[in-house]
């Protein structure tokens, strides 16, 4: 008798070395949470830490906490916690502001570093829209021209007019993983800088910022890094570019001597140069605590489990769902896949609403994409099987 | 027998209608906290609210909270809570990002609204430095020239070349209150826009944004509004300017239909246009809860108590401290005074360190200014008397 998918899931979960990390998160047995690519689950120890931050650090120490509780240095300290997850040596990442604001800093700074004889900025045409909106604004202000371009065509489109390219490492909609090493090398060969958006890859797969010579990068922390709703984003500036990094948002936190409060601006050395204003400490320290779950985790193990999960989910979908009701828009090839499965589907809004009602939480990308994110730290194979099974039930109950 | 200053403090505290608000804050009897102009004290109910936000809204509802817990609309909802405190009708304030980032939005947007034939931006020469750094960056990117100018001279300096002026309502160092109605009118008379920084006035005195015709304004929320360390700042765009408000940071949160995720940017109507990226929900909801303490409070009563407190503190300082050891740099005239007393003092760093050691928490502004902020919601007259008395003791114990 052949093994059922439920049995296979149980076997895979039993052999999963990462399965023990699930207990580090606040999860309920009734829900299959496949939206960690939008908002990561709550690490179970974060509430106690935040109670201490709020009642003792803010409530009792008050202003003294800027020094005594390490608030002031949090942006670069937490940056160094994120660094190994994205393959960066210390001193190149600062945390703060939103992804959009960091895209603005990165695009303007890259254009200034490399823009003297180059008047074009290539922007990933499949990007999460805010990157495109912000790049357009940056280009308007620096006098560059935006050229929208599919990442697959970028190696051909880059020229000696290209100052930089802004590319998403994983397409938020389809889950396609772009070729970061290859495209970075192609951009460099043409003298352009590579600015990568890691929102949908950091914490889900190896990025290798240093190893692949990425110039600048940005990312959010509330997806696979589980930092909490709207937790601050980060900015990576490769060490070799830091001295030339000329921020369009030179707030006092990036000053060489911020408490001198001199009228003239003098940029600090290092990654601190990417800071702007006073950091939002509550959100930032929740993120710092959330990063504790990464202690001892190798990103290669995360990647292996992620691919196994999406493989298994798509296998279950093919087995359970009548042919033609859904079409995977996520690439089959491992080298082209992030950590989500995206299925196009008729009547997708009603299907996702019903899935959520039945305890399988994915999300919708209008008009017709069902997104299921697989977070290896807390999603198991039984979750993947159940999600596919409930999807088949929902599709059977709803008219096509 | 004449009344002692301690007796007078007790009499004034007994008659103080706002004294009852002190119990709404987490304060300890041993500390006189006069640094609420840098970091406001913790409202006592905030920890329980944040525990619910973290464990239930994030931990249990997770992604559903963007709708079900009202996360998505928090920036404009909380803006409308701040509005009455600064004299603005609803629909003109959004909360989010740091003050520095909002200064950038406001200066660029004002320059675009009013910059076609005007190439100068006046900047308060006494401003908190970040405003000057950011205005300089904005001017560089919009092609304007920065002219640094003391607010007292601005009415004379404004001309038909002036696109806008950026002015601090209260000088962070000296505590001087600038003439917002008069200077706004003078700027308007010359066709310039008025952009005000309210960091050191909002929550301490009436601002009257609408009544005085202010064009744009920014402010932080962690001082007199007690929003918590690095809580998000806000941006005011007067309704008449909203249609022309052209943000340099057009992130997806300010799109007319953000979840359509279209490649082209189309700005939302109203104050929402000032949003950028995903808001930092933990910091934002701590601020929202903190604003509850303002229910039923009239800003005019805050102002009356603030002036009485700083008057009484300076009176006690004159009585207790030997002549010449400190010099008040805060104006005597009520119309020129914010809600802090600033004393220049030799050996100021050592004096402030010793004051803090003895339980009187003010702060230092290098090189020689002792700052004492008076937050009428939780500081009383006995605090003011004790602060002056301990200051005199410290000065007696330390060599001049």
Per-residue pLDDT of A128-154, as tens digits, reads: 889 999 999 999 999 999 999 999 999
Domain region containing B367: 5-30+298-397
List the CATH number of the domain containing B378.
3.90.1150.10
Same domain, A388 and A282: no
CB-hemisphere CA count at 13 Å for A23? 2
Question: A261, A273, A274: which is closest to A219 by C-alpha?
Answer: A274
Coil vs helix vs strand at A359? coil
pLDDT of residue A309: 98
**Last residue in a domain, options B279, B294, B309:** B294
Distance separating alpha carbons of residues B236 and B94, to the nearest angstrom: 7
Given strand A193-197, what is the order of strands in its sheet? A93-95, A234-237, A216-219, A193-197, A162-168, A120-124, A145-149
**C-alpha–C-alpha distance, residues B40 and B313, integer Å:** 19
If asked whether residues B142 and B241 sit together in one domain, one would say yes
Same domain, B62 and B97: yes
Tokens of B146: 């920065």
Mean pLDDT of A296-301: 96
User: Which of B256, B294, B316 has its CA nearest to residue B21?
Assistant: B294
Closest CA to B142 of B167, B106, B182, B172: B106
CA–CA separation, B132 and B110 (whole Å): 15
Whether residues B115 and B185 share a domain: the answer is yes
CA distance B337 to chain A (A): 22
Same domain, B95 and B225: yes
Give the pLDDT mean for A100-125.
Answer: 96
Q: Residue A208, CB half-sphere, CA atoms under 13 Å: how many? A: 12
Q: What is the pLDDT of residue A1?
A: 63
- A165, pLDDT greater than 80: yes
| Helix B381-397 / helix B5-15 crossing angle, nearest 10 deg | 150
Counts for chain A of helices (H) and strands (E), in that order: 13, 13
Question: Are the CB atoms for A237 and A273 separated by under 8 Å?
Answer: yes
Which residues fall within 8 angstroms of residue B176, CB to CB, at 6 or more apart?
B126, B170, B330, B331, B336, B337, B338
Q: Could you tell me if residue A365 is inside a domain?
A: yes
Mean pLDDT, chain A, rounded, equals 96
pLDDT grade, residue A44 (50/70/90)? very high
Please tell me whether A200 is known to bind a ligand: yes
Interchain contact, B62 vs A42, CB within 8 Å: yes
Q: Cα–Cα–Cα angle for B146, A139, B133, nearest 5°?
A: 30
Does residue A39 lie within any of the structural domains?
Answer: no
Q: Which residues of B touch A229 (CB under 8 A)?
A: 57-58, 65-66, 71, 278, 280-282
- Which residues have a Cβ under 8 Å from the Cβ of B56 and sit 6 or more positions away? none
Instruction: Give me the pLDDT at residue A128, please.
Output: 80
Token duo for residue B13: 């505290």
A255 and A243 part of one domain: yes
Number of domains observed in the structure of chain A = 2
Question: Residues near B313 by Cβ (< 8 Å), separated by ≥ 6?
Answer: B341, B372, B374, B384, B385, B387, B388
Q: Is A279 left (phi over 0), alpha (psi -120 to 50) or beta?
A: beta
Does some domain include residue A89?
yes
* Sign for the pseudo-dihedral over CA of B76, B80, B82, B88: positive
- Residues A129 and A256 grouped into a single domain: yes
In a domain, A35, yes or no: no
Taking the C-alpha atoms of residue B88 and residue A38, their distance in angstroms, rounded to an integer, is: 35
A20: left (phi over 0), alpha (psi -120 to 50) or beta: alpha
Helix count and strand count (H, E) for chain B: 13, 13
Q: Round to whole Å and give the CA distance between B131 and B101.
A: 10
- Residues B65, B212, single domain; the answer is yes
As a whole number of angstroms, the distance between CA A337 and CA B36 comes to 51
ipTM above 0.90, yes or no: yes
**What distance in Å separates residue B213's CA from the closest CA in chain A?**
27
Instruction: Please tell me what DSSP assigns to residue B210.
Output: T
On whether both B152 and B9 belong to a single domain, the answer is no
- Residue A43 is predicted with a pLDDT of 98
| Residue B134 within a domain | yes
Q: Could you give the 3-state DSSP secondary structure of residue B202?
A: coil
Measured between alpha carbons, how far is B137 from A252 in angstroms, rounded to an integer? 12
pLDDT at A391 over 80: yes
Say how far apart CA A295 and CA A278 lie, in whole Å: 28
The helix (H) or strand (E) run that includes residue A34 is none
Check if B197 is active-site: yes
Q: How far apart are CA A115 and CA A200, in angstroms?
A: 28
Collect all residues of chain B within an 8 Å Cβ-Cβ radius of residue A379. Answer: none
Task: Report residue B38 as tokens.
Answer: 């840098």
Domain boundary among B230, B264, B294: B294
Pair B26, B147 in one domain: no
Q: What is the pLDDT of residue B61?
A: 96
Q: Which of A294, A310, A345 is the last residue of a domain?
A: A294
CB contact set of B19 (below 8 Å; sequence gap of 6+) = B13, B380
| B96 found inside a domain | yes
B307 in the same domain as B244? no
| In the predicted structure, residue B35 carries a pLDDT above the cut 80 | yes
**CA-based nearest residue in chain A for residue B43:** A59
Residue contact B137–A255, C-beta within 8 A: no
Q: Residue B400's pLDDT band (boundaries 50, 70, 90)?
A: low
The nearest alpha carbon in chain B to A52 belongs to B47
**A127 assigned to a ligand binding site:** no
Query: What average pLDDT does the structure give for chain B?
Result: 96
pLDDT category of residue A400 using cuts at 50, 70 and 90: low
Cβ–Cβ contacts within 10 Å for residue B145, how many? 11
Express each pLDDT in A209-219 by its tens digit: 999 999 999 99
How far off is chain B from A237, nearest CA to CA, in Å? 20
The pLDDT-based confidence of A260 (bands split at 50, 70, 90) is confident
In a domain, B40, yes or no: no
3-state per-residue secondary structure call for A199-263: CCCCCCCCCCCCCCCCCEEEECCCCCCCCCCCCCCEEEECHHHHCCCCCCCCCHHHECCHHHCCC
Candidate list B105, B223, B273, B389, residue with the active-site label: B223
Cβ proximity of A17 and A23 under 8 Å: no
Q: What is the C-alpha R_g of chain B?
A: 22
| B222 counts as catalytic | yes
What CATH number did the domain enclosing A288 receive?
3.40.640.10
pLDDT number for residue B1: 63
How would you classify the pairing of strands B340-345 and B326-328?
A: antiparallel
Q: What is the pLDDT of residue B137?
A: 97
Judgement on whether residues A252 and A288 belong to the same structural domain of the protein: yes
Q: What percent of chain B has pLDDT over 70?
A: 100
Residues of B in contact with A356 (CB under 8 A): 64
Q: Is B39 within the bounds of a domain? A: no
Beta-bridge partners for A165: A122, A194
State the pairing for strand pair B120-124/B145-149.
parallel
**Can you tell me the mean pLDDT for B182-198?**
98
Q: Give the model confidence (pLDDT) of B241-276 as tens digits.
A: 999 999 999 999 999 999 888 889 999 999 999 999
Residue of A198, A230, A200, A173 lying closest to A37 (CA atoms)? A200
Task: Report d(CA A195, CA B185) in Å as an integer.
Answer: 46
Q: In whole angstroms, what is the distance from residue A247 CA to residue B243 CA?
A: 29
Set of chain A residues whose Cβ sits within 8 Å of the Cβ of B361: 62-64
Indicate whether B88 pLDDT > 90. Answer: yes
Distance CA B180, CA A242 (A): 40
Is pLDDT at B393 greater than 90 in this prediction?
yes
Compute the average pLDDT of residues B142-151: 96
In chain A, % of residues over pLDDT 70: 100
Largest CA distance in chain B: 79
Which residue in A28, A136, A282 has the most chain B C-beta atoms within 10 A of its own C-beta, making it the best mutation to test that interface? A282
CA–CA distance, A99 with A200 (Å, rounded to integer) = 12
User: Pick from B396, B96, B76: which is nearest to B220 by CA?
Assistant: B96
| Closest CA of chain A from B2, distance in Å | 38
- Give the confidence band of B8 by pLDDT, cuts at 50, 70, 90: very high
Structure tokens at B11: 């009499």
The reported pLDDT for the residue numbered A337 is 97
CB A231 within 8 A of CB A284: yes
């Amino acid at each position: 008798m052949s093994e059922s998918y439920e049995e296979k899931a149980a076997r895979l979960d039993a052999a999963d070395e990462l399965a023990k990390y699930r207990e580090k998160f606040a999860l309920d047995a009734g829900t299959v949470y496949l939206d960690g690519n939008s908002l990561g689950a709550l690490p179970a120890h974060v509430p106690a830490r935040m109670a201490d931050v709020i009642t003792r650090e803010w409530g009792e120490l008050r202003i003294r906490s800027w020094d005594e509780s390490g608030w002031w240095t949090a942006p670069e300290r937490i940056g160094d916690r994120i660094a190994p997850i994205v393959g960066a040596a210390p001193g190149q990442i600062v945390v703060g502001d939103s992804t959009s604001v960091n895209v603005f800093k990165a695009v303007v700074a890259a254009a200034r570093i490399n823009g003297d004889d180059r008047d074009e900025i290539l922007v990933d045409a499949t990007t999460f829209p805010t990157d495109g909106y912000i790049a357009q604004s940056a280009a308007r202000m620096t006098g560059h021209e935006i050229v929208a371009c599919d990442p697959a065509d970028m190696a051909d489109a880059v020229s000696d007019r290209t100052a930089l390219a802004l590319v998403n490492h994983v397409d938020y909609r389809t889950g396609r993983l772009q070729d970061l090493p290859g495209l970075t090398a192609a951009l460099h060969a043409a003298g352009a800088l590579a600015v990568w958006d890691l929102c949908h890859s950091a914490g889900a797969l190896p990025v290798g910022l240093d190893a692949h010579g990425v110039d600048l990068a940005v990312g959010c922390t509330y997806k696979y890094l589980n930092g909490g709703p709207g937790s601050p984003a980060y900015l990576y500036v490769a060490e070799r570019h830091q001295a030339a990094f000329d921020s369009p948002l030179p707030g006092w936190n990036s000053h060489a001597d911020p408490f001198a409060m001199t009228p003239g601006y003098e940029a600090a050395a290092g990654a601190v140069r990417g800071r702007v204003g006073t950091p939002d400490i509550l959100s930032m320290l929740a993120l710092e605590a959330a990063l504790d779950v990464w202690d001892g985790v190798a990103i290669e193990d995360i990647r292996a489990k992620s691919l196994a999960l999406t493989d298994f989910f798509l296998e279950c979908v093919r087995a359970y769902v009548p042919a033609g009701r859904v079409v995977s828009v996520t690439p089959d090839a491992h080298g082209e896949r992030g950590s989500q499965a995206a299925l196009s589907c008729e009547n997708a809004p009603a299907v996702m609403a019903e899935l959520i009602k039945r305890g399988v939480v994915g999300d919708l990308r209008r008009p017709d994409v069902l997104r299921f994110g697989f977070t290896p730290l807390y999603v198991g194979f039984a979750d993947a099987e159940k999600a596919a099974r409930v999807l088949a039930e929902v599709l059977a109950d709803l008219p096509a």
